Amino acid sequence: MKEDTILDVRGLSVRFRGQGREVAALRDVSFSIGRGRTLALVGESGSGKSVTSLALMGLLPPNGKIAAGTIGYRQRDGRILEVTKLTAAEKRRLRGVQMSMIFQEPMSSLNPLFTIGDQIGEMLFLHEKMEGAARRKRTIEMLELVEIPEAGKRMDSYPHELSGGMRQRVMIAMAMICKPSLLIADEPTTALDVTIQAQILDLMRQLQKDLGMSILFITHDMGVVAEMADDVAVMYAGGVVEQASVDALFKDTRHPYTQGLLNSIPGPWRKRGERLIPIPGSVPPLTDLPDGCAFAPRCSHAQQRCREPVTLDRKASDHFAACILESVGVS
């Protein structure tokens, strides 16, 4: 694990039990995040992004398990923890203090029966045993930091009394209150309109700059990737198919799936007037993955040898692609 790396995931595989059998939800997923950097985990729904985040946080449901792989996390004192070997109690101590998460839909994550001040302040009580006036003062400071107006009054509001953008700011405040070194953001702007989304992204970048934290940003939006990320890992059907710096990925796309994502949405990487081209078909069910490359049935470049297993080629450079083609380009 490199000295400037805060999270190093190697060969992570996750399986779920159901209807008398096990299904592989993640297969041999590997990536790392540098200190103070943002890695975007991108792909369509069903690609395994959220399962990855839950595995990192130790929040897999009872029918899920980590079947293989390692998750190395560098603590603030420099020591490296192997997350997969921690007890449930040790994982709880790690969550919120050193690793924290923003979920996709704040209304399903916030308790409607408690004020936002109580819910944010609970993090301080659980992890720092802070109570009374000190806890209230720190909570107000955090609400001000995420730019919630009249924070002293707003902390006594209930979730339903806030707009969607304000609820998402509360979720960010809750995740950041103990100043974690790593923030996992699972599509935090998906349910917001474009203006509010831009404000939330600006806020996250500013908090990252102020606190020096690393971010794992999960999204399906390549426009957000271009705006937020330093590095990118593209996921498809439970595996990583391409990994590179954000500049390298947009300049020299090496996997047809990544090219398909870029071709299907508007963005600065496209030629003016160029028409959008949707990716045909859909992500295959995990119970019925094709042999070899999982993307081959949807790929216009597919060849007979795509039926054979293919993995990320990590030999040549820092730009890896699980494809027999050296480069497919984005034009």
- Asked if 69 and 214 sit in the same domain, the reply is yes
329 within domain boundaries: no
- Asked if 61 and 207 sit in the same domain, the reply is yes
Has residue 75 got a pLDDT over 80?
yes
- Asked if 152 and 286 sit in the same domain, the reply is no
In this predicted structure, which of 7-11, 42-46, 249-253, 263-267 has the lowest mean pLDDT? 263-267
Check: CB of residue 91 under 8 Å from CB of residue 58: yes
- Asked if 162 and 264 sit in the same domain, the reply is no
22 within domain boundaries: yes
pLDDT tier for residue 106 given thresholds of 50, 70 and 90:
low
152 within domain boundaries: yes
Residue 93 tokens read as 């101590």
What is the mean predicted confidence (pLDDT) over 127-155?
A: 87
Last residue of a domain, one of 159, 179, 199: 179
Last residue of a domain, one of 145, 179, 213: 179
How many structural domains is the chain composed of?
Answer: 2
Domain around 232: 5-98+180-321
- What's the rounded Cα separation, in Å, for the pair 41 and 217? 6
- Asked if 161 and 231 sit in the same domain, the reply is no
- Asked if 311 and 163 sit in the same domain, the reply is no
- Asked if 127 and 190 sit in the same domain, the reply is no
Flag whether the pTM goes above 0.95.
no
The share of the chain scoring above pLDDT 70, in percent, equals: 95
What is the mean predicted confidence (pLDDT) over 128-151?
A: 87
Has residue 22 got a pLDDT over 70?
yes
Report the pLDDT value the prediction gives residue 330, as an integer from 0 to 100. 43
Residue 229 tokens read as 């990320």
Separation in Å, CA 213 to CA 6, 183, 229: 10, 7, 13
What is the mean predicted confidence (pLDDT) over 252-278?
A: 84
- Asked if 200 and 280 sit in the same domain, the reply is yes
Query: Phi, psi at residue 101, to the nearest 5°?
Result: -140, 140
Q: Is 293 exposed, middle or buried (0-12, 13-18, 19+ CB in 10 A)?
A: buried
- Asked if 150 and 223 sit in the same domain, the reply is no
- Asked if 82 and 157 sit in the same domain, the reply is no
Which amino acid is it at 211?
L
Last residue of a domain, one of 126, 150, 179: 179
Residue 279 tokens read as 């990716």
User: Alpha-carbon torsion 181, 59, 71, 293, what sign?
Assistant: negative
